[in-house]
Amino acid sequence: MSPRLPLGSEREALKIVIVGHVDHGKSTLIGRLLYETGSLPPGKVEELKAVSARRRMAIEWSFVLDAFQAERDQAVTIDTTQIWFKTATRDYVIIDAPGHREFLKNMVSGAAAADAAVLVVDAAEGVREQTRRHGYLLHLLGVRQVAVAVSKMDLVAYDERRFSEVSREIGHYLGEIGVVPTFIVPISGRDGDNVAVNKAAVQGEGSPAMAWYKGPSLLEALARFQTVTRPIDQPLRFLIQDVYKFDQRRILAGRIESGILRVGDRLLFSPSNRTARVRSIEVWNSDTECLEVRAGQSVAITLDEQVFVERGEMASHEALPPMLSTVFRATLFWLGQKPLEVHETYKLKLGTREARVRVQSIERVIDTDTLAGRPGDRVERNGVGEVVMRCREILALDEYRDLARTGRFVVVDEYDTVAGGVISMEGYPDQRHAFAVKSANLTSVEHRVTATLRTERNGHCGGVLWFTGLSGSGKSTLAMAVEQHLFNKGYHVYVLDGDNVRGGLNANLGFSPEDRAENIRRVGEVAALFADSGVICISAFISPYRADRDRARTAAKSNFHEVFIKAGLDACERRDPKGLYRKARAGKIADFTGISAPYETPSRAELVVDTETASIEDSVRQIVDYVERNFARSRNPRKA
């Protein structure tokens, strides 16, 4: 079907997707739209009549779309087709989408590319499961413009009250997920009422079946949709697809996903953190020099330096780079046969980057019918879940709500795409302020007093006992008790306690994810210095993020021992020694670990002390014994 386009126009076609529950009339609507806009080739209408007659049915507009034998016999559309049609004012490409559960992955393929959507609801059947699921997915896929068509009005005798009922129900659901439909149009695909023209709004058209409806026809509603424009005003994101060396030039190829890139710009590559200037923008077969490229363009550039950059890296300007993280939250829809399970690993594809990720936790499984979330250890096929993903490598990414193209990803299991998801970094710090050493010109100087000499003198080696656990789990109590016991045994020992340090060294830090990370970074470095000086440093900080604890471990180089002071949230809340849980529950403290901020349980602590089951004395003894086994040179350091 070749579209008839007016001469000289390079009009952008609006991409729309038509979704809704199976058999609610989507295909019929599309067939009707094509007919009404004169987009069917001559002979097609006759062909339709013949085929329908052969199958002993009244003319079925949906047959226009069903290319497959199988589909005709089953009367269920299987896949997405792309259909062009036009009106006087603009061109459209419809991506037909099926309503049956089984083929959600096909609907997603279509809807993900759409500028706008029409959600079809059968007037007689009303809002059904797939109606809601598709509405939810449209929102998740970023389709912001939605019109609703209440179809088969002929089956409910064009009753206004029924239309109002259905409108209210779907309007309410969409409202709950933050989608406001532009229009809700009552139509009859079979007879064509309100598809192209609203007869009630046109004078002298006789008595139309729906005289009570004064709004626009569906086609008029479509005309109000706008094409989604490329984000040139957003921060630059240039995703490297490949590096070519066909001749002496080293060429970086990829697409600009947002922003503008110019010759001479200084680029920052993430996650490698390398920088270089754009020397040229390479264009084949053009006489004019290209000095600027924008979002949407596939480009090839050269740099002024030979930096090692490869596929998967994201280039930006230095001012507004992507975030760096080894962990992120995501809302995703699962398409795979096997359910998504916590602790499983999958392949993540984010832009041109690929990495293995593990599902650290499933925070909520969302029921798209009720929009309720419940905890779960798996997300079933066609389900939606909120998860936390962790990666061994550091990833460059953006918040989906800020930059959609670099804030979304797909998940691949074995060879298949099994999910699409969008990223939120809520509760997790940007690890970019990862503590890069800012000073240049540093020369480290060796101590003449070595660690061995200190160990000889003290009778034990220095090191770090890193206590971690929820507020109220017993860290400070145990730390002070252990310090006293060890001191009495002749050890050189000192406690860095959370509240104490926050009153001095870290007085200028709060509890945002970034400040917590900095808090721990400083304590980690100080503890490392103590350890280096031969002292056993006990740190008692909640230290909720694994990444920060790992960093402290690296700072200490060797002899770092993570001690998980374990107690459940309920137990800690019951104890509430400082009254903080009560305040947090009352909303007086924001970002409180366990309640409004995450705690990442240690997975490889050297020692676990369960303060719910052990008494204080037993816990202290456990820790002291551990120290004696691991730090002491001789049984009694006092005699060293």
Partner 1 sequence: MLHLDELEAQSVYILREAYSQIEPLAMLWSLGKDSNVMIWLARKAFCGHVPFPVIHVDTGRKFEEMYEFRTRYAVEWSLQLITGDCPPVEEVDPTLPPAARAAARKTLGLKALLAQHGFKGVIAGIRRDEQATRAKERVFSPRDESGAWDFRDQPPEFWDQYKTDFPPGTHVRIHPLLHWTEIDVWRYIERENIPVVPLYFARDGKRYRSLGDQDITHPIDSNAATLQEIIEELATTTTSERAGRAMDHEREDAFERLRASGYM
- Chain positions contacting partner 1, by CB under 8 A: 1-7, 10-13, 41-42, 67-70, 78-84, 105-106, 108-109, 111-113, 141, 230, 241-242, 244, 246, 249, 251, 253-255, 282, 284-285, 294, 296-298, 300, 311, 335, 347, 349, 405, 408, 410, 412, 414-417, 420
Report the C-alpha gap between 498 and 333 in whole angstroms: 40
Between 191 and 354, CB nearer to partner 1: 354
Residue 4, number of CB atoms within 10 A of its CB = 12
Tell the smallest beta-carbon distance from residue 8 to partner 1 (Å). 9
The candidate with the shortest Cα–Cα distance to 152, out of 123, 125, 194, 126, is: 123
Tell the smallest beta-carbon distance from residue 119 to partner 1 (Å). 18
Tell the smallest beta-carbon distance from residue 403 to partner 1 (Å). 13
The candidate with the shortest Cα–Cα distance to 363, out of 392, 332, 391, is: 332
- Cβ atoms of residues 61 and 189 within 8 Å: yes
Alpha-carbon separation of residue 114 from 139, 227, 381 (angstroms): 12, 9, 23
Tell the smallest beta-carbon distance from residue 381 to partner 1 (Å). 12
Report the C-alpha gap between 180 and 509 in whole angstroms: 41
Alpha-carbon separation of residue 530 from 299, 462, 465, 521, 560 (angstroms): 52, 7, 11, 14, 12
Tell the smallest beta-carbon distance from residue 637 to partner 1 (Å). 58
Between 70 and 211, CB nearer to partner 1: 70
Tell the smallest beta-carbon distance from residue 6 to partner 1 (Å). 7
Between 133 and 432, CB nearer to partner 1: 133
Tell the smallest beta-carbon distance from residue 410 to partner 1 (Å). 5
Tell the smallest beta-carbon distance from residue 170 to partner 1 (Å). 24
Tell the smallest beta-carbon distance from residue 256 to partner 1 (Å). 9
Report the C-alpha gap between 34 and 17 in whole angstroms: 14
In one-letter notation, the amino acid at residue 33 is L
Between 84 and 626, CB nearer to partner 1: 84
Tell the smallest beta-carbon distance from residue 349 to partner 1 (Å). 5
Report the C-alpha gap between 235 and 37 in whole angstroms: 41
Tell the smallest beta-carbon distance from residue 105 to partner 1 (Å). 4
- DSSP tag of 43: T
Tell the smallest beta-carbon distance from residue 112 to partner 1 (Å). 3
- Cβ atoms of residues 395 and 353 within 8 Å: yes
Report the C-alpha gap between 237 and 229 in whole angstroms: 16
Cα-Cα end-to-end distance for the chain: 93
Alpha-carbon separation of residue 340 from 333, 384, 389 (angstroms): 10, 10, 12
Between 410 and 451, CB nearer to partner 1: 410
Report the C-alpha gap between 444 and 333 in whole angstroms: 51
Burial class (CB in 10 A: 0-12, 13-18, 19+), 88: exposed
Beta pairing partners, 124: none
Between 56 and 415, CB nearer to partner 1: 415
Between 263 and 412, CB nearer to partner 1: 412
Between 244 and 487, CB nearer to partner 1: 244
Between 77 and 455, CB nearer to partner 1: 77
- Cβ atoms of residues 432 and 324 within 8 Å: yes
Placement of tokens 């930059």 in the chain: 403
- Cβ atoms of residues 105 and 335 within 8 Å: yes
- DSSP tag of 62: G
- DSSP tag of 563: E
Tell the smallest beta-carbon distance from residue 22 to partner 1 (Å). 16
Between 179 and 335, CB nearer to partner 1: 335
Between 86 and 492, CB nearer to partner 1: 86
Cβ contacts of 522-528, under 8 Å, gap ≥ 24? 523/496, 523/552, 524/548, 524/551, 524/552, 524/553, 524/555, 524/556, 525/555, 526/496, 527/464, 527/466, 527/496, 527/552, 527/555, 527/556, 528/464, 528/552, 528/555, 528/556, 528/557
Between 250 and 621, CB nearer to partner 1: 250
Between 62 and 519, CB nearer to partner 1: 62
